[in-house]
Structure 1
Amino acid sequence: MEKKIGILGGTFDPPHIGHLIIANECLNQASLDEIWFMPNNVPPHKHKTDNVSNEAREQMVRLAIQNHPQFKLELIELHREGKSYTVDTMRQLIEQNPGVTFYFIIGGDMIEYLPNWYKIDELVNMVQFLGVKRPFYTHHTEYPVQMLDVPEIYLSSTQIRERIQKGQSIRYLVPDSVRQYIEENGIYGT
């Protein structure tokens, strides 16, 4: 039987409840078997927040998803050197996982940006895009994107990092296990 897997990519710096809600809603609304959280590699030249290591982001995702049996961690992009294009990642995942149909989850900001994606015309033949509304974006596209009605939560990893740096609480914005990991490891200036 063919497996249906959703891919949720991002920096997850840190992962927060918005990511988990999106993943859970996509899992259920699109009748997927699993959601694979795929942290991307932050290239050395790109500004990294407080130099949070890939290992720390990997561990935070692991902690965030540990209690959901259908959430998995996919490290293919985290361990790839150089520029990472979605089309290359998906080509590799499809080769490694015969009998799997992949669904690629994107937010409103990415939906508007689709025409600029590298080899987008090839990519739309490889995956089904699942679109999630985000506040302040139009969500209009010429590309085949299946829009899902997911509760809109205006929350970003940037906001969470800023709250931490100001000494404000992030309780309930990230899973408790992630909050404890951030505090115990002094991440983001805690």
Structure 2
Amino acid sequence: MKRVGILGGTFNPPHIGHLIMANEAFSALDLDEIRFMPNAIAPHKQLVSDASIEERLRMVEIMIEPYPNFKVEKIEVERGGVSYTYDTMVSLCKREPDVHFYFIIGGDMIDSLHTWYKIDELIKLVQFVGLKRPGTKSQSNYEVLMIEAPEINLSSTLIRHRLAVGGTLMFLLPNGVEEFIRKEGLYGTR
């Protein structure tokens, strides 16, 4: 059975922390691949930016291009609307019945897992994989397979702020992603 990790998110913008999370899960669980899954509209986040769905998707594609075991999963973008993980995973499990899915989440999502749409049904479809994140408890009453990984206190919010004020992004964003942001004039770089 194929073992696939799913890393969902707004990726607004995607950054080095996303790559580290994916690589740590990929290595620790001996997965066949990791799929980065940008959502159309996140139910738990207010999307504040000037990056369109297409631009967020393109940034993810640029970020993972050098890594053959990292792929893009476009199911939520193609479906549009609010992206509920339960609905997505039902669709993916039907589309790929011979795949065991591992859904990778950080500490902030672990702490709020009890609020997720149809969580009691979702937990039967995927194995949640958790990575601690600074400033979170990283605890849940739901089963989450925790893996040891470097705790990185990096967020897309910090990246957007740095871009808006002209701060340094060295080692925070893959070069291609930063180039795309500047070329497209995203996040206050116009």
Q: TM-score range by the shorter chain?
A: over 0.9
Runs of 4+ in 1 over 3 A off after TM superposition: 46-50
After TM superposition, the structure 1 = structure 2 runs for residues 33-48 of structure 1, keeping only pairs within 5 Å, are 33-42=32-41, 47-48=46-47
- Matched with 1:163 is 162
Q: Residue type of the partner of 1:12? A: F
CA distance in 2, matches of 1:167, 1:72: 31
Structure 1 unpaired stretches of 5+:
none
Q: Residue type of the partner of 2:66? A: N
List per-residue Cα deviations over 1:2-34 (Å, max 9, x = no partner).
100000000001100000000000000011110
- Matched with 1:100 is 99
Report the number of matched residues: 187
SS at match of 1:21: helix
TM-score normalised per structure 1: 0.94
**Contact 1:50-1:189 within 8 A present in 2 as well:** no
Displacement after TM superposition at 1:120 (Å): 0.8
SS at match of 2:34: strand
CA distance in 1, matches of 2:135, 2:54: 32
List per-residue Cα deviations over 1:65-92 (Å, max 9, x = no partner).
0000000000111122333211110000
- Matched with 1:178 is 177
Displacement after TM superposition at 1:47 (Å): 4.7
SS at match of 1:163: helix
Structure 2 unpaired stretches of 5+:
none
**Contact 2:16-2:173 within 8 A present in 1 as well:** yes
CA distance in 1, matches of 2:49, 2:127: 35
After TM superposition, the structure 1 = structure 2 runs for residues 21-100 of structure 1, keeping only pairs within 5 Å, are 21-42=20-41, 47-100=46-99
List per-residue Cα deviations over 1:108-160 (Å, max 9, x = no partner).
11111111111111111100000010011112222111001110111000000
Q: Percent identity?
A: 52
TM-score normalised per structure 2: 0.94
The 3 A distance-change label for structure 1 pair 117 and 14 is: same
SS at match of 2:77: coil
CA distance in 2, matches of 1:64, 1:128: 25
CA distance in 2, matches of 1:115, 1:178: 33
